[in-house]
Amino acid sequence: VALCQLSVTADKARNIARARAAIESAAADGAKLVLLPEIWNGPYSNDSFPEYAEDIEAGGDAAPSFSMMSDVARSLQITLVGGSISERSGNSLYNTCCVFGSDGKLKGKHRKVHLFDIDIPGKITFQESKTLTAGQDLTIVDTDVGRIGIGICYDIRFQELAMLYAARGAHLLCYPGAFNMTTGPLHWELLQRARAADNQV
C-alpha cells in the first residue's frame, strides 16, 4: 500500500503530472494499492471547485485527471483509490473519489456524503456546502486487493458509515483527506484508530 502525499498548486496540468509521477514511483517500489489525497488536482477552496471540476461521465478532455488515473492504473496494473476531485454533473458539483481496477476501469465512485461546514472564530471558517452537493450513497468496491469501503475526509467523523461498510464485508476503509490544521490534529489519527478498532478493519 502506498499513500501519495502531494503539494497542490494552482497549475492543474502540473498537479496531474506530479500525481502520475508519485503513482509510478509507488508502483516501482512494489505497491499494489495506491491512494491519492482529497482534491489533489487544484486548490481546496469554494472558488476553485467549479474551475477545476471535471465531467467524469464525458471523460476525455473534459476529465484529464480522471483519464490520467484510469490510464496509469491500467499501465501499471495497480488498484488506485484516486483521492478526490471536484466532479461536475448536471448543475451540481461533488467531491468525488474514483476507484480504478488494475484494468483501468472505474470500479466505483464515492461522492462525499458529509460536507465540511465549520466556524471556529479566530481559527477557521469554511463551508463546503456553499458550492458542493452532498453524495447520497455508500461506496463499497471489490478490487484485486479485497473489498474496500470509501469515505472522503470528514466522512470519517461519522461512525455509522464505517459500521455499514464492515457489516457489508469491507476489509479495508479508505478516507482520502485534506484535513485542516485546526481540527485535524485533534481528530485525524484518533478517528482512524477508532474506526479500525470498532470495526476490526
Phi, psi of 43 (to 5 degrees): -60, 150
Q: Could you confirm whether 153 is annotated as catalytic?
A: yes
Return the H-helix or E-strand segment holding 111: strand 106-111
Catalytic residue among 97, 112, 128, 174: 112
Catalytic residue among 4, 97, 98, 153: 153
Q: How far is CA 3 from CA 36, 83, 107, 108, 131, in A?
A: 6, 10, 19, 19, 28
Q: Could you confirm whether 112 is annotated as catalytic?
A: yes
Catalytic residue among 38, 54, 87, 128: 38
Measure the CA–CA gap between 34 and 73, rounded to whole angstroms.
Answer: 9
Closest of 159, 153, 171, 166 to residue 83, by C-alpha:
153
| Catalytic residue IDs | 38, 112, 153
